[in-house]
Amino acid sequence: MKKQTKGEVAGAALSGIVSSFEDINIIPEDQLPFKFNSIEPTAWYPYSYLIDTINLIEKSMPHSSSLLFWAGVEFIHIWYKHVPDKHKPRSALEWFYTNEKSGGYNTVVRGGTPDEIGWCKILTMDEAAGKVIFESVTPYGGKFEEGIIYGGCLLTNDMAYFSVKSEDETYDKNANFKRTLITVHFRPKSEANIESKFESSDFNALDKLTWKQTEDLLWCYRRLVEQNKLQKEYRMDITRTLKNAFEELHKVAAELRLANKKIEKMAITDMLSGLHNRRYFEQQFKKQWFSSLRREEKICILMLDIDYFKQYNDTYGHLAGDSVIRSVCKILQETFQRAEDIVARFGGEEFVVVTFGNNIEHINKLVEQLRKKLKLKKIEHKKSEVSCHITISIGSACAFPSRSLSPDDLIEQADKALYSAKNAGKDRHVHYE
């Protein structure tokens, strides 16, 4: 939508529009074209501020005619508080005539032609029949404009009855504007403060009413019934909007929890292999260590290294090397399947396994299963000095956790055993004694 380059808007109008939606808090102030707290009611600002603000409201606003309507009512009360006294209407009829030839509208916009900044005029006025029709071409349009006229009728409290209806259509000469026809049916009070008759402590006061007073009160009653209906619709829309907001909040919270879980999982997962990473291993190993200390349970740790892996990468390429790592990881997962087992990539071509409650005989059995499965894969390795296929070296260490032995001590023992396996010719398992 093309912004207006001509015209100005009063600060009172900008702050009034934003403030009129304050109760439902739907305008993201950080997206406004101005800093709300810096707006001076008596200052003038670029007309594009008004267009951008209305567009932001339409984008942010839930689909609710009553919310827009009562925001318009609130807007005109804010306008009335800031507008100079000479522009303040002293009666509802004067308020109607204020809008003739854009009188009211031009207190908050200036500096352009009607097609550039908008306008408002009276098409029909029949005081005897109690009917006035306005034609308004502004950025507001619709229910907000209807609320402005309705709110104006409330300002001076001199109407026994009034109802306001609006119809919208596009305005071909300016895409930023809407052409709104607003029809008002009204009946002035014959006596000021006629409602006070209801507040009298004299129970016979109603019997003393004249026919004209009774008629006024009936019209007031009808207006209050309709106003109560409008307020009921507003409360229902507020409730519906709040319900939708909570549903959206719960949805976003659920998505956020899911995203956090994914982030947490990514933080402890090795992206290449899909195994847990070293960070996860270090966190969980220490936890399980102290848990096993309380249960007096043996812990076994295995350090594994793919033999001559650098030479494999240099010969077959890094993508082939990645494939080997994934193959070894899959075999590790197939071999160590218990829920409490920790299987992780330690770094590069090194892996670590932590298993609980096993003796050395069972560890030897698991290691042989692992090596056998890898041999059955027959992954070619021409540069290996111990086999024509990929092999692994394994070092293991087992212990009952104690106050004199730390988790790092057991890791160091397994690492020494791995070093011994590599020095002894690779493609073997050495257990730390």
Q: Reply yes or no on whether 247 is catalytic.
A: no
Q: Is the pLDDT reported for residue 4 higher than 80? A: no
Query: What would the mean pLDDT of 137-146 be, rounded to a whole number?
Result: 86
- Report the C-alpha gap between 27 and 37 in whole angstroms: 14
Given this model, what pLDDT does residue 198 score? 64
Q: Which residue has the higher pLDDT, 63 or 176?
A: 176
Instruction: Categorize the per-residue pLDDT at 82 as very low, low, confident or very high, splitting at 50, 70 and 90.
Output: confident
Q: Which residue has the tokens 């042989």?
A: 368
Q: CA distances (Å), 328 to each of 333, 334, 384, 390, 422, in order?
A: 9, 10, 16, 10, 18
Asked if residue 413 lies in contact with residue 397, where contact means CB atoms within 8 angstroms, the answer is yes
Mean pLDDT across the chain, nearest whole number?
Answer: 88
220-257 confidence digits (pLDDT tens): 999 999 999 999 998 888 888 888 888 989 999 999 99
CB contact set of 90 (below 8 Å; sequence gap of 6+): 156
Distance of CA 354 to the CA centre of its chain: 42
Percent with pLDDT over 70 in the chain: 95
- The helix or strand, by DSSP H or E, that contains position 159, with its residue range, turns out to be strand 159-170
Query: What would the mean pLDDT of 185-196 be, rounded to a whole number?
Result: 84
- Report the C-alpha gap between 414 and 401 in whole angstroms: 15
Does the structural domain 68-188 have CATH classification 3.30.2390.10? Answer: no
β-sheet bridge partners, residue 396: 302, 431
- Strands 299-306 and 350-356, by their bridges, are antiparallel
Given this model, what pLDDT does residue 131 score? 97
Q: Is the pLDDT reported for residue 200 higher than 70? A: no
Asked if residue 115 lies in contact with residue 89, where contact means CB atoms within 8 angstroms, the answer is no
- Quote the pTM value: 0.64
> Residue 84, Cβ neighbours under 10 Å: how many?
8
Query: What would the mean pLDDT of 307-314 be, rounded to a whole number?
Result: 95
Annotated catalytic residue, options 74, 264, 349, 412 = 349
Query: What would the mean pLDDT of 21-46 be, rounded to a whole number?
Result: 82
| SS3 at position 134 | strand
- The helix or strand, by DSSP H or E, that contains position 365, with its residue range, turns out to be helix 360-377
CATH topology of domain 278-431: Alpha-Beta Plaits (3.30.70)
Query: What would the mean pLDDT of 1-23 be, rounded to a whole number?
Result: 75
Given this model, what pLDDT does residue 39 score? 86
Q: Which residue has the higher pLDDT, 101 or 34?
A: 34
Q: Is the pLDDT reported for residue 343 higher than 50? A: yes
Query: What would the mean pLDDT of 9-15 be, rounded to a whole number?
Result: 85
Q: Is the pLDDT reported for residue 3 higher than 80? A: no
90-120 confidence digits (pLDDT tens): 999 999 998 887 677 877 888 888 888 888 9
- Report the C-alpha gap between 401 and 364 in whole angstroms: 21
Radius of gyration of the chain (CA): 40
Instruction: Categorize the per-residue pLDDT at 277 as very low, low, confident or very high, splitting at 50, 70 and 90.
Output: very high
Question: What residue ranges do the domains of the chain occupy?
Answer: 68-188, 278-431
Question: Which of 128, 169, 160, 134 shows the shortest CA–CA distance to 148?
Answer: 134
Given this model, what pLDDT does residue 201 score? 61
Q: Which residue has the higher pLDDT, 209 or 432?
A: 432
Instruction: Categorize the per-residue pLDDT at 32 as very low, low, confident or very high, splitting at 50, 70 and 90.
Output: confident
Q: Which residue has the tokens 């000021």?
A: 192
> Residue 308, Cβ neighbours under 10 Å: how many?
20
Query: What would the mean pLDDT of 372-387 be, rounded to a whole number?
Result: 94
Given this model, what pLDDT does residue 1 score? 43
Task: Judge if 68-188 and 278-431 fold alike in CATH terms.
Answer: no
Q: Is the pLDDT reported for residue 62 higher than 80? A: no
Residue 345 tokens, joined: 């990539």
